[in-house]
Structure formats: C-alpha cells, structure tokens
C-alpha cells in the first residue's frame, strides 16, 4: 500500500527517465493500425488499511456502489469492474428486491463485471494456501449461488509481490487470465538518467514482457496462465514531466477526476484538445510496452467512483473527442470489462487453448503464443520500489518490501491459530450434521436417544469465523501494514470469532459426537480453568482431544496444572499411562503436564486426569491410598475398572551456571539432552557472552557424533525501517543477555534446556523420548495396523527437537534466530515454502547493488511453513518448520536466519505511525537435522502436525463419577474406518452452504465439500512421492456416500459427474462434492 497516495509522481518520473519510452509527437499520418484502448473503470477497496473494514464500508463503499449502479442503470455504455466480494455481498443484502433485479440485469448485460471474485485481494507472501482457498471460495460461492457467475480472471493488483502459489490455485479455480502489478520496479522500468542510473534495469520494457505465459509450479508443469502486468499501477492515467534542474517546474497532469483538481483538472471546452493530446500521448507511450495493438488502461484507484458522475462525465468528453478524431489520433477508446481486453488479445495473437488432461483437475491451458515469453517456476519477491529522494541519499533503490514478512508477529500467529481452530470447527460441524441427519430421520422413538444440538446457531458462528478468516488474508491485514486502530480491529474480530467457536461450537459438538445417550448438562470447555481452580485429591477431569488430520496420530501434548500438583493419567481404555510434570521457567514458572496422546484420523480420544496429591503431600506407596479417602475410586481400582495408577513423574530440574573454563569446547562444560535418535550438546561460549549455546548434534542412527551446529538469537539495528520496508543499518550481532539464567529439565518423557536472556526473551529446547505405550486392536483403539495406515514410526516425536522462542524487541531493534552448521555447504542456496512447495532461493546481489543493507534485505524471503538448507554432497540437511509466517534468509554458507519481531520509530509516510510492536509472542519451531533423504521423508507431514495441533476439551468427571461418565459418553469418536495414506492430506471437509430460500433442516441428502492433496513434491521422497489411488467410500465409517463429483477448486464448476476411484499425483489437489445419505 506504500505510496498509494503519492506514488504516481515517482512512477511516471521513472517512465520519463526511460530512454525507451520517448515522448513521441502524436502521429497524424494514420499509417499505423488503430490502437484499441480498453478503459477499465474500477475501484480498489481495501478491506481495512487507513480505516477499519466497517468505516470503509459505511463511509466509502456504499457511496461507490450506490452511485455506480445508478450511473450504469441510466447509461448502458458505462461499465464497471468489481473485485472485493466481502463488501459487495453486504451491500447486496442491504438492497430491496427491485434494486437487486436491476443489478442482476447489469451483470447479465456485462456492464457490472466481477474480477477475481474473492472475499478480498489476499496477500501472497505470508498467507497460508488454505486461507487463500477459503477466502476465494467465500466469494465464488456467493457469486455462483446468486448469479451463476464463475470468475475467470485473477485481479491481484495491490499485494506486495506475486507468489507462484496464486496462479497455481487460480488455474485450479478455472481462471484463464491473471492480472498482477507490484513487482520490482527495476524489472519494469529503465532507470538510465544521470539522476537515477540503475544498470540492467527495465528488462520488461526492453523486451516488451508485460504479458507472458506463467508456468508457476515445477510440480505441475502443465499448469499455466496468461498473465498481464499493469504497466503503470492501477490508478487512472497521469503523466509527470520532470525538470531536475528546476524542480519547481516539474509538472504532473492526470485523469483522476476525484483527485486534486490542480493535477487532474476537469474537462472543459477550453482544455479539451490539450487534455485529449495528453491522454493520447500516455496511450502511445504505453502501447510500446506490448506485442499487440491493444491497451488495458485502468481508470480508478483507491475507493474511487464515490462520485461516479464526475468520473464518467469528464471521461465521456475525452472519449467522444478522441474517437471522433481517429484519423488524427489513431486511437479508439471504450469503457470495458477486463475480459473484453483479454478476448481481443487472444483474437489478435496466435494463442490457442487445449484441454489439460495431465492433472486431476481438468482445465484449459494456453499453447502457442510465440508473441509471448514463458516464465517458469519463478515468483516476484521481493517487491522493491525506487524513490527519487531515497536514491539521492543512498545512490541505490533501498525500499525492499521484505519487512512485512515479520511485522507484527503476534497478529500473524493469532490469525494462523484462528484458521486452525476454524478447520477443527468445520470438520466437527460436518460430522455432527451427518449424525444429526441420521438421527432426525430415525424411526426410533426411544427418549434415551434424543440427540439435540443447535446446528443452525453453530452454523452461523462458523460463517462469521469463516468471514473474518477471509478478512485477515487481506494484503494489509496479515501483513501488519495497516494503521494501529485497524490492526486492533482485526485482532478484536479474531478474538471474538475464536471465542465464539471455542465456547459455543467445539465443546458442544465434541460432547454431541461422544455421547451415546441424551446429552447431559456438563461443563465442557475449551480452556482448562476447571483444572486450575483449586483441584482436590480424587478430582477427575476428562480431556477429549480432537484430531483435524486424516491420519492416526500419536504425539506429546502439554496441559497446564496448578503448582505442586501430582496426577495420574488414564487413556481412553482406562489404562494408566506415563506422564511427566515440568516447571517451565520461560513461562513464569508455570507447571505443565506432558503425556502421549493417540487419536484416530479426524476423530476424538478422551483421556482422564485424576488428582492424587496437592500441596506437596506425600503419597503412600499403597495404591489403595493413592486416591485418598475416595471410596468410589478405590472400589473402581480394586475391581479392575481402573488399572493400577502410574503417578506422574516429577522432572529433575537443575539451574546451571557458566563454566569457568576459557575453552568454548571444553568437554567438562558440555551439557547434553537427547533421546534414542539424537543428542543436542550445549557449551558456554565466550564469543556469545558466555551463554549456554547449542554447539553440536549427535546422530545416533548414523553413528555420527559432534556434528557442528549452533543456534542463538541475533539482533539487527533498524535503519529507517517500517512495517513494509526492511532496511537494517548493518549486519546482525548476537543478542546481548541481561543477567542470563540456564535450566536443564530431565525426565523419562521430555528433556529441556532453557536459556533466559532477559525477563522477556528466552529459548527452550525440547526433546521428546519414545514411550512404552503400544497400540492394540480393540473396539476402542485409536490406531489401526492394516496396510493402508501411515507408518507412525515415520512421524514420531523423537525425530525432531522443538525450540520455544519467546521474543520482544526494543525501539529500532529487530530480533531473530540464527542457525549455523559447518557440516552443510549450501553455497548460499536455500529453500522457502510458498505453503505448498519449496522455492529455490539464491543469495545474490540485485542489479549490481552490493550495498550492505540491500544485500541483507534483498535476500530475505517469506516463509509460510518451511525453510531449509542442504548439502548435496554430504546429504546433510537443516529444516525449520513453523506454524506462523516470517522472513528468513541464508546470508552465509551453512547459515539460516529467521526474523521474528520488529520495532521502529520511523514515521511511515502513508500510515504516519511508528512500528510499535510491544508484543511478547512465543514462536514455536520444529527442527529437523541430519540425513537429507530421511528428512525429506518426514518434513511435510511433520509440518502439517505442527500447524494442526490436537485441541483439548475439558470436563469435570468427578461431579457424576467416572463409571457414570463412561456410560453416557464414548471415549473415542472414530469417523473413518482407517487412517488415510501417509502422503494423502484431507484438506477440507465442510458442509455445503445452503441457499437462503432452502429450509435449514431439509429432508434431502446432504452435500459436502471435500478436498484432498498429495502432500509430497515430485522427487522429494523415493518412498512417498508417488501417485495415490484411493476410493473415498473405503474410509467413511457408518456413512453412505451416494454421489461423488469432481469440481473446480472453489466448487463452482463440475468437472466430472462420476468420480469413484481417484488417482492423485504428487502435489496434486482434487476438489469433490459428495452426497452422503443416511444408512
């Protein structure tokens, strides 16, 4: 959004600097073909930025839509293009039937045209692919249900850099064309004036490459989309004539008739010819950038057309004058929708289309088109701007948009957590609907089976959660680039929908799905205050863990306990299991319980915690007295209903002190934690302020010891940074601690090293050990042992270590984490994930610019969930997995830098605010280190496990006794017969939104939206980068699937009406609409 208000000055300054774009006189010979100008009226309506979403809608958007619709209704020659469906849907619902019918006619006439059609124009750098799909589905479903419209053109004109993910997803949505804008200005424009001279700039101008065939994915090489880059931003045309010697004589004139009238004078009889000459001059300069004689010319800007009459009336005069003097000007202008432009381009060139049958989703791809270049496997990060004043100061372009990758870390974290919670709610709601539909149509009149759940209320809550999730994908929301009041509004919306889902959706549905009799009025809750509120010996609490992944899972979880509490943990079969109590010094000395949880695919497993001791009371070795005087528990224990209790292990905690040895590698000072697969070795390093520091890794599987690897916090000093721009003043230094403290935690299940830098910065390394728990095949078992199940030994907790990073930044400081390993020679090549696939990055100078701060900022890239380096010779690999986005880089050989949090006093020109991030977030990462082949086998599923944690739901059991609880509730909900294959991810399972005129509890079969993804890339894993063949009917438990139809990604177009057996190639995604009837 940077320079949206003032940017035209610099954009057109660049054009006139360019030697290629000469200021031609108007050609009156008329020997050239007529230039066809497609004038595209539009309004870019940010979903929050300088104002909140509500303010923009009530103060701006309603004016735009009211006035535009009125103008179009009166004049059929007028056209308008609209993108943001969040605003249009709300406006539409506020209109009466008469006006709605008028709008439908305008849409039918193609006067009012939808481009993109998503809820918003999402950010492309740091937004997770599932959130992108969800927000596009919101918009597309509204357009399809209301108007039968299926958008075909991407319109991403304001996000700060185009990702390869977007064209990949858009193609699967059925898009033919794609419009982008914000790419490095040195790629777009030639800078060769003395005042701004940038070697090798302007390749797009020189080669006329503003349109190309984009092949975005190496894993789907047949996916391509015809892409148009806006040559001069998305605002109405304007021209700046620069006088460097006498700046006061610099002259700008444009055609933004709602803008400054001194720059954009209205059209009068006196200035009509002059203004027409100027517009034609702009047109003829721009047409030289393209390989045909058609020009897409945006007419609009941010929240333009609030006064549509002034915009259209002035432009009408110009269009009429220019078109009536076609022999003089050689130009024909008309109001246009975006599709009209592309249709004319295709007509005038030799691009043909063919059906692509190489992917699961049938689509069309462009072929031929020799006029157009091809771009393969490349994105356009980092977006960079070139400001004249900035250039005069630094003699280089220094506005790298790599700062927003990490700005306002807590907002990014909460947004992803909210999406994970929404995913759980959607899955649970779908299964509740299926069961409710079966029960509501059952002839059994037994009152004991009277299942009642308020599904309509739950649906409304999830709709609101879904809508807010869509809002947060906006390119000024998740990015942290909105004003403080707007960012606070985003957080308020997130907290409200999360609270509603946590309090009113998930607990109710979990209780409903587990109940085998009429639902009791229990205190089912998503928070553990019931445990924290002074528990007594003998109190029993159930914790039901919900698994939103399609695989059986076995992993460690942590539950907070009151201090000085001892418990015993029972699983779903009432078998006591191992557990460990840990005091976390990085979390205000709070107490946490760790134990291993097993859950079925998409299912729920219930575990029980029984309080056995509080306030440090000793427990007698006699198991009869473990539960104090609770006669019922003693009875259940003696009669075998409860197995012999295993009391929770109290961790051994050691506060460590710095070694007096001057040798940084002294074996006497080495401290180790580990498991059966690896050890982490720590030493006190003089060069790191004598901090306890990770120094080496023992690979116990490969029998390799003391493999060098270090990790520590680093700190950049800001240099005119802001929420958009990363401009450090120099290289990072190690973060200096203040009275550091070190702790070691040991136990049979989990081991930790905690390093306290300050009161608000710390790191805790966590290593898990295998448990002795074995899974049996009983009616309540959570995992299965048939050939279709994933091999759980490939995704167990011993394969990685975690680091809990708690960070905060002082003014003009930017805090991150640096990993370094001499064992990896990556030649400064690293890989970041766009959410679906890895993109190769190479540390390099751009446009011969070796300025230190630009070498740093220009080599930071967005990370959605994965960053890694590897040595192709030694096959050593370091992979970092995350469940929130940030910027990362490899600035030196064998090194990975992660940037977590930023704070700056710089007053940004458009926001007019400092970047005052005072949050103190905990950023958890998973670290995989060792053999490359082994890591590639497991990194993708481990990433999904990290991003989709098990969700605990709490209840007090002791109020009714555990034997009665078990008679009312099942301990396991298992909707799938077996776990999905290891490389198959169930991405979406949600009930289709019914149209308003339909009854909520209709008696018809229910349709559900479902998506599957083969999660492995081509050649990632010899074992798992394989096609998957499966039948959906083999998985659903007790549900009858009667119809399976393959659809587009946003479920607005049927591709195949009869899809029974599915074959999914590596990194292919399929969308299905399934009908499920009662058994």
Q: Which residues are annotated as a binding site for Zn(2+)?
A: 44, 46, 158, 475
CA–CA gap between residue 193 and residue 170 (Å, rounded): 39
Go through the chain and tell me how many residues it has. Answer: 1079
User: 787: helix, coil or strand?
Assistant: coil
User: 182: helix, coil or strand?
Assistant: coil
623 contacts 629 by C-beta, under 8 angstroms: no
Structure tokens given for 102:
């008028």
Angle at 923 between CA 919 and CA 925, to 5 degrees: 170
CA–CA gap between residue 182 and residue 160 (Å, rounded): 6
735 CB neighbour count, 10 Å cutoff: 22
The helix or strand, by DSSP H or E, that contains position 364, with its residue range, turns out to be: strand 363-368
436 CB neighbour count, 10 Å cutoff: 17
558 contacts 625 by C-beta, under 8 angstroms: no
Burial of 524 (0-12, 13-18, 19+ CB in 10 A): buried
Structure tokens given for 258:
């709602």
| Closest CA relative to residue 212, chosen from 371, 425, 423, 35 | 371
Structure tokens given for 426:
């959607």
Structure tokens given for 491:
């957080």
65 contacts 102 by C-beta, under 8 angstroms: no
CA–CA gap between residue 250 and residue 261 (Å, rounded): 17
Residue of 123, 128, 158, 539 marked active site:
158
The helix or strand, by DSSP H or E, that contains position 426, with its residue range, turns out to be: helix 409-440
Strands (E), 904-966: 922-931, 951-956
Distance, C-alpha 698 to centroid of its chain:
34
CA–CA gap between residue 205 and residue 253 (Å, rounded): 23
Binding-site residues, please?
44, 46, 158, 475
User: 343: helix, coil or strand?
Assistant: helix
| Closest CA relative to residue 126, chosen from 490, 480, 497 | 480
Instruction: Give 284's Cβ-side CA count (13 Å radius).
Output: 21
505 contacts 433 by C-beta, under 8 angstroms: no
Provide φ and ψ at 177, rounded to 5°: -130, 160
Structure tokens given for 156:
């991403």
| Closest CA relative to residue 556, chosen from 250, 773, 371, 249 | 773
| Closest CA relative to residue 178, chosen from 133, 141, 210, 148 | 210
First CA to last CA distance, the chain: 54
CA–CA gap between residue 83 and residue 100 (Å, rounded): 18
718 contacts 739 by C-beta, under 8 angstroms: no
CA–CA gap between residue 106 and residue 844 (Å, rounded): 51
538 CB neighbour count, 10 Å cutoff: 18
Rg (CA), the chain: 31
Burial of 790 (0-12, 13-18, 19+ CB in 10 A): buried
Write the CA distances from 46 to 621, 885, 961, integer angstroms.
66, 22, 55
DSSP notation for 610-628: EEEEETT----SSGGGTTT
370 classed as catalytic: no
Strands (E), 508-646: 540-546, 553-561, 565-570, 576-577, 580-584, 590-599, 604-614
CA–CA gap between residue 250 and residue 242 (Å, rounded): 5
Q: Report, as residue numbers or ranges, the catalytic residues.
A: 158
């Amino acid at each position: 959004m940077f320079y949206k208000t003032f940017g035209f000055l610099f954009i057109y300054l660049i054009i006139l600097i360019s030697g290629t774009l000469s200021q031609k006189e108007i050609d009156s010979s008329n020997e050239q073909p007529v230039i066809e100008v497609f004038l595209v009226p539009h309004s870019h309506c940010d979903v929050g930025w300088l104002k909140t979403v509500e303010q923009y809608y009530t103060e701006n958007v309603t004016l735009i839509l009211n006035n535009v619709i009125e103008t179009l209704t009166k004049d059929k020659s007028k056209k308008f293009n609209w993108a943001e469906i969040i605003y249009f849907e709300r406006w539409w619902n506020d209109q009466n039937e008469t006006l709605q019918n008028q709008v439908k006619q305008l849409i039918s006439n193609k006067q009012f045209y939808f481009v993109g059609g998503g809820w918003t124009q999402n950010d492309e750098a740091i937004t997770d692919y599932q959130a992108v799909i969800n927000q596009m589905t919101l918009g597309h479903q509204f357009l399809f249900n209301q108007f039968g419209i299926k958008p075909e053109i991407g319109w991403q004109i304001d996000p700060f850099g185009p990702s390869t993910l977007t064209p990949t997803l858009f193609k699967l949505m059925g898009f033919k064309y794609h419009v982008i804008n914000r790419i490095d200005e040195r790629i777009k424009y030639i800078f060769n004036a003395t005042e701004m001279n940038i070697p090798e700039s302007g390749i797009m101008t020189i080669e006329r490459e503003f349109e190309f065939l984009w092949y975005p994915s190496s894993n789907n090489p047949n996916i391509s989309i015809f892409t148009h880059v806006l040559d001069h931003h998305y605002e109405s045309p304007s021209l700046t004539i620069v006088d460097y010697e006498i700046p006061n004589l610099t002259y700008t004139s444009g055609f933004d008739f709602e803008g400054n009238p001194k720059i954009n004078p209205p059209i009068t009889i006196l200035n009509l010819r002059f203004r027409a000459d100027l517009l034609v001059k702009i047109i003829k300069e721009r047409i030289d950038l393209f390989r045909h004689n058609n020009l897409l010319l945006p007419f609009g800007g941010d929240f333009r057309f609030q006064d549509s009459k002034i915009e259209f009336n002035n432009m009408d005069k110009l269009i009429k004058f220019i078109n009536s003097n076609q022999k003089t000007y050689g130009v024909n202008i008309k109001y246009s929708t975006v599709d009209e432009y592309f249709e004319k381009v295709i007509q005038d060139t030799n691009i043909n289309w063919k059906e692509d049958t190489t992917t699961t989703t049938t689509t069309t791809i462009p072929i031929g088109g020799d006029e157009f270049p091809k771009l393969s496997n490349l994105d356009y990060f980092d977006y960079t701007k070139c400001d004249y004043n900035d250039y005069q100061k630094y003699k280089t372009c220094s506005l790298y948009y790599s700062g927003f990758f990490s700005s306002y870390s807590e907002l990014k974290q909460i947004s992803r957590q909210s999406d994970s919670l929404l995913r759980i709610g959607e899955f649970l709601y779908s299964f509740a609907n299926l069961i409710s539909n079966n029960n509501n149509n059952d002839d059994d009149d037994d009152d004991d089976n009277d299942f009642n759940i308020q599904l309509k209320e739950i649906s409304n809550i999830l709709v609101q959660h879904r809508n807010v999730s869509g809002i947060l994908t906006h390119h000024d929301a998740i990015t942290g680039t909105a004003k403080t009041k707007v960012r606070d509004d985003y957080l308020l919306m997130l907290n409200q929908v999360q609270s509603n889902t946590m309090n009113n959706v998930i607990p109710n549905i979990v209780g409903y799905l587990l109940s085998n009799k009429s639902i009791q009025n229990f205190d089912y809750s998503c928070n553990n205050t019931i445990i924290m509120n002074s528990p007594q010996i003998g109190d029993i609490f159930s914790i039901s863990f919900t698994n939103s992944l399609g695989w059986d899972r076995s992993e460690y979880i942590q539950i907070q306990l009151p201090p000085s509490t001892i418990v015993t943990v029972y699983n779903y079969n009432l078998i006591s299991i191992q557990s460990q109590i840990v005091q976390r010094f990085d979390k205000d000395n709070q107490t946490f319980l760790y134990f291993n949880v097993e859950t079925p695919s998409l299912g729920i497993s219930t575990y029980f915690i029984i309080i056995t001791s509080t306030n440090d009371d000793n427990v007698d070795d006699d198991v009869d007295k473990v539960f104090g005087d609770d006669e019922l528990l003693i009875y259940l224990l003696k009669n075998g209903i409860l197995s012999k209790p295993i009391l929770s292990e109290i961790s051994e905690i050691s506060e460590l002190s710095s070694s007096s040895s001057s040798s940084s590698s002294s074996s006497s000072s080495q401290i180790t934690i580990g498991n059966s697969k690896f050890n982490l070795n720590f030493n006190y390093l003089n060069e790191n302020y004598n901090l306890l520091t990770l120094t080496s890794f023992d690979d116990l599987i490969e029998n390799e010891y003391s493999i060098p690897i270090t990790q520590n916090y680093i700190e950049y000093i800001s240099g005119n940074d802001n929420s958009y721009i990363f401009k450090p003043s120099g290289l990072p230094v190690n973060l200096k601690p203040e009275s550091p403290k070190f702790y070691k935690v040991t136990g049979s299940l989990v081991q930790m090293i905690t390093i306290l830098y300050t009161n608000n910065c710390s790191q805790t390394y966590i290593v898990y050990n295998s448990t002795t728990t074995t899974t049996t095949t009983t009616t309540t078992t959570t995992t299965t042992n048939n050939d279709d199940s994933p091999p759980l030994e490939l995704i167990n907790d011993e394969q990685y270590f975690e680091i809990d990073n708690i960070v905060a930044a002082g003014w003009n400081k930017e805090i991150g984490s640096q990993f370094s390993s001499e064992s990896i020679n990556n030649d400064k090549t690293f890989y970041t994930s766009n959410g679906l696939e890895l993109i190769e990055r190479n540390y390099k100078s751009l446009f011969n610019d070796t300025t230190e701060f630009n070498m740093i900022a220009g080599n930071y890239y967005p990370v959605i969930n994965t960053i890694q380096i590897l040595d192709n010779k030694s096959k050593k690999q370091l992979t970092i997995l995350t469940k929130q986005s940030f910027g990362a880089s490899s600035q030196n050989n064998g090194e990975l830098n992660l940037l977590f949090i930023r704070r700056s006093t710089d007053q940004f020109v458009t926001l007019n605010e400092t970047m005052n991030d005072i949050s103190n977030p905990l950023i958890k990462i998973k670290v995989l280190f060792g053999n490359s082949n082994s890591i590639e086998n497991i990194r993708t599923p481990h990433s999904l496990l990290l991003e989709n944690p098990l969700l605990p739901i709490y209840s007090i059991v002791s109020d009714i006794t555990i034997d009665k609880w078990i008679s009312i509730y099942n301990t396991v909900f298992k909707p799938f017969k077996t776990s999905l294959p290891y490389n198959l991810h169930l991405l979406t399972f949600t009930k289709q939104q019914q149209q308003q005129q339909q009854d909520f509890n209709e008696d018809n079969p229910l349709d559900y939206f479902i998506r599957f993804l083969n999660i492995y890339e081509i050649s990632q894993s010899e074992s798992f980068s394989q096609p998957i063949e499966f039948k959906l009917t083999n998985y659903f438990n007790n549900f009858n699937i009667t119809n399976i139809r393959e659809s587009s990604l946003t479920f607005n177009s049927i591709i195949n009406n009869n899809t029974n057996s599915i074959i999914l190639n590596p990194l292919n995604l399929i969308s299905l609409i399934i009908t499920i009837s009662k058994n």
